[in-house]
Structure 1
Amino acid sequence: MLGLASRLRALPDAELRRVIGVRDVSTSGIHDFFDLAEALLDSRSIQLALSHLDRSTLAVLAVAGQLTSSGSVPSLNAVTSRLCALGSAEVALTDVARRVDTLHTLLLADHNDGRCIPYDAVSAHLATWPAQGLPGVADLATTLPPAVLAAVADTEIVFIDQLATERAFAVVSSIAELVNDLSREPARELSRGGLGLPDTKRLAAVMTVDVDLVAPILALASRADLLARSDGYWMETEAGEAWLLERTTARWAALAAAWRAALPSIVADILPRQAGLLWGDGLTAFIAWLYPAGGEWMLSQLTQFARDAELLGITAHDTTSTAGASVLRGDPEAAVATMATALPAEVGAVYLQHDLSIVAPGPLAPSIDARLRGLADVESRELASSYRITAASVNRALAAGENAASLLAFLASISLTGIPQPVDYLINESASRYGRVRVGNFAGAATAPVAPVGDNTVFLSYVSSTDAALLGTLAVDQTLAPLGFVRAGDGAHLLSRFAGDAVFWALSDARYPVAAENNLGEIVHLRRHQIARVITLVPTVDAALSLVEKLRVGADSTVSVADAWLARQLDTAIKAKQTILVSIAMPGGAVVDYLLEPASVSNGRFRARDRRADIERTLPLRSIRSITPAP
């Protein structure tokens, strides 16, 4: 422990913080470098570190420990020779040196003067592996890997790629629907995590997927920063808004890149990067062989990413697709090129029907789809999408700033069948009726309606109309009952305790010709579109940094590590009231052993009771050669 504590004390602060993080050291209960060394040499901490090492690195560690315990010099050449002898195969010295550097960085061994010396606690822990069913030194060095991953026939790769393309298109379309829907109606995140069942069912219906796929698809979109939590709700982000205007290939590329970036390097390095290779039992067996102490941890990592790989078309039927192989190789351009040749071509024209429906003969160009959604409701989202124009959807477009002329001009520019008379009539009629019902907020209103006498309710918004009969209809409409409308004192307004935008969209959904107005009575345009308000969180306290600062403050630079270690041993003996055998170097060079019961340590000296002479002695710490428990 003394050697490790000395090494920890000499590390730069940045390296010390990295080690604390990588080794997942709990900072509680650590007061000095000896406590930190003790925590790093704890069996649980060692096992955690070993579980993340591959078989070859573990073999180097085990052989180095074996050489050290037998009294041999664990030089890199000796370790290499021993590995070659055990495995009956050539092992490169450079490969051993690289793995020794990894062990040195993780503080599992000390690489010094061309030697790899594992810490005693690490070697002792490795020695217990065979009793736990884990491989020993010989097994680590000699057990051959399982058979190479199986490959499908070349003729089957065509079908794998076809299925992967279908899945890629499906998940891109589903995420587009998800992002669009959450921009209008965010989904609440439960306190325990995940979405509630009502929101889950709503989103499953919107995306036309099974309920079980909502959470994975939401995670995919979130990983690509298309969605984010804001005030406890999942909403669209600005990146998501821009993503919706990209072509299908660019959308898929963003999702695939986010998936690849989230892969831990330890997982990415073992995934098959050739098209047509199976990820099934062969890959599982290989992982269990490669990481003998961390199979469960590795498999849990792989399970999640393999599921997402199937959704994205990286794989199909647990087999790497051609585009997926390019993604895994870090070649997004090749992956996009592969997908571009397989995905259906986007179209820029639609068929307008007399029944007010709109049919797209293929996937619409994103810019056209985005504007069409403002004018019409999506009815089906398949390879050929369909939309329907309604009075409410036209009113929604008018509220966002469109007018009859702009809507008809847009439809004429994309229609292969002209503008059917029912479509023209509905748009013009809706535009003429738009604004017959007005909604405004009390805040800042110059002439606010007066509440009924005796009603102390705090009203936030009002509804007005020049059509008294229409206002009366609103007052008795049961679908609007949750708004709690109350007649104002002047009888010409309805009052609500809800904000104006909530009242506006409720009336719009109920198909009333509603418009929002400001405090001057001027129509203002609203858009049912919410962007996540992503707040940059105040960085939490860096526990590793705090611990490093604490260790530096507590370490006296004028006191050597050896003296600090002696003081620690003496302090432990004092607290335990333990008698110890202390070897003291006398001025003449002789070494004298005292049987002492330490009483205190201060100013480089310690005071103790001599149990043999029954007297009190005060001795300098620098004269101590060794301390051992009394027999």
Structure 2
Amino acid sequence: MTAEDLIERSSGRPATLTGWLRGFSDHELIALLRRRPDLALPAPVDLAALASRAGVRSSVSRALDSLDAFTLRTLEVVVCLGAGASVDTTASWFSLDHADAVAAALTRLRDWLLIWGGDEQLRPVGAVREVLGSYPAGLGRSIFDLFSAVNDIALAPLLRRLGLPPATQPRSGNAAATAILERLDTLLAECGDGERAILDRLAAGPPIGALRNAFAPSLSDANGPARSLVERGLLAPIDTTTVELPREVALALREHPAGPVRPTPPEIAVAERGAPVIDGGGATQVLETVRLVELLLNELARDAPAQLRAGGLGVRDLRRLSRALQVTEAVTAMLVEITYEAGLLSSSTTVDASYLPTTDFDGWLRQATAQRWVQLAGAWLAMTRLPGLVGARDDRDKTIAALSSDVERHSAPTLRVQLLALLAELPPGLAPRSDAEVLARLAWRAPRRASANRAVAEAMLAEAATLGLTGYGAITGYTRALLHGAETGAARAEANAADTLTAALPEPVQEFLLQPDLTAVVPGPPTAELQGELGLAADLESTGGASVYRIGPGSLRRALDAGRTGSDLQQFFTSHSRTPVPQALQYLINDVATQHGRLRAGAATSYLRCDDEALLDRVLAEPALVPLGLQRIAPTVVLTGSGIAVVLERLRAAGFAPAAESADGAIVNLAADTPRVPGRQHSRISRVRASVLADTQLSEVVARLRASERLAAAVTNSTNRVSQQIPGVTSASILELLRTAVRQERTIAIGYVDDTGTPSQRVLTPISLGGGMVRGHEPSDGRLRSYPLQRITTVSLLADE
């Protein structure tokens, strides 16, 4: 029996965290493991292991991340009070109006096992002090600790000012601290506005400030307010460039010792928008996002950028893609990261790796708009990457590249869900008036995570608006469905979100309006078929509620290159236009179609074939085509060593209209076989969910803990106990005790180490011993078990009940 057990038995109060946990009911233990699932994975051997795990730094840090600002400040006050912490003294640090909120916060801290003990003796667990940092509640160290660390030379001027005789440390430091506290009210009253501003700022926390030559005055700041505060002893120098505000001074300056902290989250001013308007605003961005992703991946297929040696996408390639999409580099980086996370983009496995669309992209194109967007939005929610960091400078002052490891942040999914959850708390139809109020509430709701990530959270709100997750700053109805799946893992979350989005999207149209200026206006989102055909024959000029496409010779040649004929184009425009086809467009189609294909290129490496010898004469005479090394081998045939793609590109740049042909002379579309790389695993929104164990699993863990406690008590009262003297070597005493248990049919408790090295206690009624194994029945369920002797560390012969 340990000393702590004796104290518990004599006083009736638990002296250890393990003893405190013994007082928990099964329901309370299950609730604890549900709040902190990391304590149950893997299952603890006994309550002592559970208590030890609850105080581990990583586990405490995760638990603190779940606390709001008021509960976190209450915990900091308990840490500041130390051994004198009680419910009443903790509440005395806050306003009288906050007494109920303090009691509720202490209850929550006990529920999360961050503090334990009775109302008169509250104690933080394990690494709470370490995780909270050096300045809990924004308070510095005691004035006695600070001045006892200042050297005698630096302390001498202060002693003379206070009228104290010189002495050596620590007597001089303690004397100075005592004198300052006795005159504290007078010293504070003598402070000017500049000095008081510094004190108030440091009293709010953190209590650290910068001051050059803190131990000795310099000519530049000899009469400055910070220097004056050091000379009066209201600030303590802790090194040559840093000063600290003593805790006692800060407490005298604060209205309440705990500082200005509110027990409720700040309100968010809202404006009435209406759910249909919010969903409509988000749906517009959804259509734009899907269009940009398709354009981005097609551009990457046309001109695949190389992967940097260190991984990632080069700055020049990002700028090129941004120009092609006609959006900012920040939006381009976001789309690149999302498509990569969604499995639509990946790098090739060749020596000179490049980024290309995956085979999944083709399947994505065949889906409905709502389903496409849900896949992209789910990837954004789940990805552990922050696109907002692209273009910033890292610790080595190097630019952070898209798709590089420098944008990895494992806290990103949780922060995104928290942000959207805040917006989801607002009633449908109401939109926040500003993002600043949303961020302020986030800072109260998750202060540890939000304090260092305000810029990241602000970028996430902008990304959500760009993607269409929000409309006019409010969460949309279809995003609520998606968020529900991210938080709870609902099986149909993505399908529900797609159904809700489909209802919010305008009906796709299959018609457009041709204008005399050779533009086509699509009055709504086009169908996939219309968008594909019109995208071949015209160039997109503007998007929005209505898209505008411009038809020109280049766009018509692109359609002809894809295998369309002049009559096909005439039929397409006639059948899909609500307005008559302008005569100018008919002439343009006939002219381009007549010129197209007169000059033919094929792979020989490449060749040019043309029945018009004069046209070939013009090609050979063109200066811009000299680098191709064209050689005429017949009146109508020219050969070149360049690839066919290069030949076509150079000829078109020189003003010709060539077409590619197959071996049998048929026109082929070289872009039809666009390059792809194998698909890769992509994120699902279920990744966002925290680890949640089923109640049945938690009940089983608690049952094992209870069994371990009963077993420990039984082992303590056992009639005999032996253990291995040499690890892995079964001693004769263990074998003899096992034989005795078999002969007498006695129940034993064995210490056992499994394959992973995890120790545990097992109860067994042995029936046989041989072959390096002991076999028997477990009294709890009667099942036959076998244990290797080399894994048994202890054997205890339990007393008969």
TM-score normalised by the shorter chain: which range applies?
0.5 to 0.7
Instruction: State the 1:340 CA deviation.
Output: 4.8
Separation of aligned partners in 2, 1:464 and 1:287: 68
Matched, 1:215 2:333: yes
Over the residues paired in the alignment, what is the CA RMSD in angstroms?
5.2
Cα 1:237–1:375 shift into 2, 3 Å: farther
Cα 1:155–1:358 shift into 2, 3 Å: closer
Is the 2:302–2:674 Cα contact (8 Å) retained in structure 1?
yes
Aligned pairs for 1:451-462 (under 5 A) are: 460-462=605-607
* Structure 1 equivalent of residue 508 of structure 2: 346
Cα 1:254–1:334 shift into 2, 3 Å: same
* Structure 2 equivalent of residue 559 of structure 1: 727
Is the 1:484–1:496 Cα contact (8 Å) retained in structure 2?
yes
* Structure 2 equivalent of residue 449 of structure 1: none
Task: Determine helix, strand or coil for the equivalent of 2:377.
Answer: helix
1:512 to 653, 656, 674: 656
* Structure 1 equivalent of residue 608 of structure 2: 463
Matched, 1:280 2:435: yes
* Structure 1 equivalent of residue 270 of structure 2: 152
Matched, 1:502 2:646: yes
2:670 to 526, 548, 559: 526
TM-score between the two structures when normalised by the length of structure 2: 0.47
* Structure 2 equivalent of residue 305 of structure 1: 460
Matched, 1:261 2:423: no
Instruction: State the 1:357 CA deviation.
Output: 4.0
1:358 to 511, 520, 525: 520
Separation of aligned partners in 1, 2:277 and 2:666: 60
Q: Which amino acid in structure 2 is aligned with residue 54 of structure 1?
A: L
Q: Which amino acid in structure 2 is aligned with residue 501 of structure 1?
A: A
Q: Which amino acid in structure 2 is aligned with residue 504 of structure 1?
A: L
Cα 1:303–1:486 shift into 2, 3 Å: same
1:184 to 298, 302, 305: 302
* Structure 1 equivalent of residue 393 of structure 2: none
Instruction: State the 1:486 CA deviation.
Output: 3.0
Separation of aligned partners in 2, 1:41 and 1:513: 74
Matched, 1:271 2:422: yes
Aligned pairs for 1:356-505 (under 5 A) are: 356-417=518-579, 419-427=581-589, 430-431=592-593, 433-442=595-604, 460-480=605-625, 483-488=627-632, 493-505=637-649
* Structure 1 equivalent of residue 67 of structure 2: 54
Cα 1:353–1:163 shift into 2, 3 Å: closer
Task: Determine helix, strand or coil for the equivalent of 1:264.
Answer: helix
Instruction: State the 1:369 CA deviation.
Output: 1.0
Separation of aligned partners in 2, 1:381 and 1:180: 18
Instruction: State the 1:348 CA deviation.
Output: 0.9
Deviations 1:111-162 (A, max 9, x none): xxxxx998756556658443565899x9999964443441413357776555
Unaligned runs of 5+ in 1: 1-17, 23-39, 73-83, 104-108, 111-115, 443-459, 538-555, 561-631
Is the 2:74–2:106 Cα contact (8 Å) retained in structure 1?
no
Task: Determine helix, strand or coil for the equivalent of 1:295.
Answer: helix
Instruction: State the 1:469 CA deviation.
Output: 2.0
Deviations 1:99-120 (A, max 9, x none): 34xx8xxxxx99xxxxx99875
Cα 1:529–1:162 shift into 2, 3 Å: same
* Structure 1 equivalent of residue 704 of structure 2: none
Instruction: State the 1:489 CA deviation.
Output: 5.8
Is the 2:422–2:442 Cα contact (8 Å) retained in structure 1?
no
Deviations 1:472-512 (A, max 9, x none): 2223335545x533325667654444322232344356553
Separation of aligned partners in 1, 2:131 and 2:580: 79
Task: Determine helix, strand or coil for the equivalent of 2:112.
Answer: helix
* Structure 2 equivalent of residue 601 of structure 1: none
Cα 1:434–1:124 shift into 2, 3 Å: closer
* Structure 1 equivalent of residue 103 of structure 2: 89
Task: Determine helix, strand or coil for the equivalent of 2:607.
Answer: strand
Cα 1:425–1:286 shift into 2, 3 Å: closer
TM-score between the two structures when normalised by the length of structure 1: 0.58
Deviations 1:174-228 (A, max 9, x none): 4344344434344556567776666555544443434553323433444444444
Cα 1:366–1:267 shift into 2, 3 Å: closer
Instruction: State the 1:364 CA deviation.
Output: 1.8
Separation of aligned partners in 2, 1:334 and 1:49: 31
Q: Which amino acid in structure 2 is aligned with residue 467 of structure 1?
A: D
Instruction: State the 1:308 CA deviation.
Output: 0.9
Deviations 1:57-86 (A, max 9, x none): 9789889999997999xxxxxxxxxxx999
Instruction: State the 1:374 CA deviation.
Output: 2.3
Task: Determine helix, strand or coil for the equivalent of 1:272.
Answer: helix
Is the 2:600–2:661 Cα contact (8 Å) retained in structure 1?
yes
Task: Determine helix, strand or coil for the equivalent of 1:89.
Answer: helix
Is the 1:260–1:327 Cα contact (8 Å) retained in structure 2?
no
Separation of aligned partners in 2, 1:362 and 1:321: 20
Aligned pairs for 1:541-580 (under 5 A) are: 559=727
Is the 1:353–1:420 Cα contact (8 Å) retained in structure 2?
yes
Q: Which amino acid in structure 2 is aligned with residue 175 of structure 1?
A: V
* Count of equivalent residues: 467
Separation of aligned partners in 1, 2:100 and 2:578: 76
Task: Determine helix, strand or coil for the equivalent of 1:358.
Answer: strand
Instruction: State the 1:368 CA deviation.
Output: 0.9
Greater mean deviation of Cα atoms: 359-368 or 55-64: 55-64
Q: What is the identity percentage for the equivalent residue pairs of Structure 1 and Structure 2? A: 28
Greater mean deviation of Cα atoms: 466-475 or 276-285: 276-285
Is the 2:538–2:549 Cα contact (8 Å) retained in structure 1?
yes
Cα 1:219–1:489 shift into 2, 3 Å: same
Task: Determine helix, strand or coil for the equivalent of 1:153.
Answer: strand
